[in-house]
Amino acid sequence: LIKIITPGWGTSGYYSESMLERDAPAVYQAGTQMFLDHPTAADEKARPERSLTTLAGFITEGGKFLKTGPQGPGVYAKAQILSPYRGFLNEVAQIIGVSHRALGKGTPGSAEGRQGKIIESLTKCFSVDFVTLPGRGGAIVPMLEAYRKNSESLIEHEPPADDELNEDTNEEIMAGNDKETVITVESLRKTHPALITEIRESIMQEIQTSESAKQKEAEHKQVLKENQDMKIELDRLREAQVIQEAGKIVAKALEKSALPAITKARLIETVPKLARMKDGKFDEAAFTEAVTTAIKTETDYVAKLTESGKVKGMGGSGGSGTPSDGTKLKEAFKQQYLREGLTVEQAELKATIAAAGGR
């Protein structure tokens, strides 16, 4: 069992219990390699993937934050030590520590009466290494205290601020401490090629997810448009069907009517367009009533015209009408035809015929 890190101030910043408890399972995963010593700056450039000659073990069971762990609160994990290093690490267990190399995010703040970087999250652990001095309480628990619950707390040491012993170059990148570090894609490609690959794959996955979402949205819009077009077409067909049904009702109602043929034709053409729907169905009762009213209105109108033309020049040579009576009747017919949309010439011709009794 190893203790990777404890809550409190480290060289990179302040690690809170809540943050460690939340992020530890995802960051310190089974399979994480353990090396002897952190790499120096020169090692990072020459061999960013590390060396088999310093590979001492690996985590076998993911890290968990224990408030009442064997060595107090902290992140603990089970690890397997490779046989070439078991004897050596057993001998030096009491005088060395454990430190991680991780990435995360930090912001300026204060905690426990001290100003500095507050580590808000840990996102990736590259390795957990055996070092001469732990960066933040890391230790080999079985070799030190053998799970004694009330054991004496490990002494915290602040490592010297030099490139040879860093609690992590990566954490300095992460937390943005007082040491200014400039990061470029090229430097990461050299020092952490696996990270570059992971970032590239993550970006490609996000792009694919975004494109898939856009495609689904476009397909959804297309379906909505097709449904709307279909609804419009169905409404149009239904309207045509209703007008056809209404036309039959008008024609039947006019069968026994004495209205002139031209008036009947006009009613058959215009009245069906007045048909309305009710609760999604043709309101036949209301339309029939409207047809009856329209026929009555036209009948009354024609009757008035006919009445005004009676015995006014329309009879035989011995009639008592005057020439002006026929003229008035013709004018009345002409005005009616003009209202029906005929041209002046058409209205004049039809009015002449109608006044002569041929309407």
User: Is position 262 within any domain?
Assistant: no
More confident residue, 334 or 23: 23
User: Is position 242 within any domain?
Assistant: no
Strand 281-282 to strand 277-278: parallel, antiparallel, or no bridges (unpaired)?
antiparallel
User: Is position 84 within any domain?
Assistant: yes
Mean pLDDT of 163-170: 37
Q: Write the Ramachandran bin of 78: left for phi over 0, alpha for psi from -120 to 50, otherwise beta.
A: beta
User: Is position 7 within any domain?
Assistant: yes
**112 pLDDT exceeds 50?**
yes
Mean per-residue pLDDT over the chain, rounded: 77
For the chain, the domain total comes to 2
Single out the residue in 148, 181, 214 at which a domain terminates.
181
State the residue range of the domain holding 323: 310-359
* 70 burial via Cβ count (<10 Å: 0-12, 13-18, 19+): buried
Task: Give pLDDT tens digits for 245-277.
Answer: 888 888 888 888 878 888 888 888 888 877 777
Single out the residue in 157, 181, 205 at which a domain terminates.
181
Single out the residue in 137, 152, 181 at which a domain terminates.
181
User: Is position 43 within any domain?
Assistant: yes
User: What's the rounded Cα separation, in Å, for the pair 198 and 185?
Assistant: 13
Same domain flag for 174 and 319 = no
User: Is position 152 within any domain?
Assistant: yes
Most confident of 29-43, 137-151, 239-253, 267-281: 29-43
- Chain mean position to CA 25: 30
User: Is position 346 within any domain?
Assistant: yes
Same domain flag for 315 and 177 = no
Task: Give pLDDT tens digits for 169-204.
Answer: 333 334 333 333 445 666 667 777 777 787 778 888
User: Is position 141 within any domain?
Assistant: yes
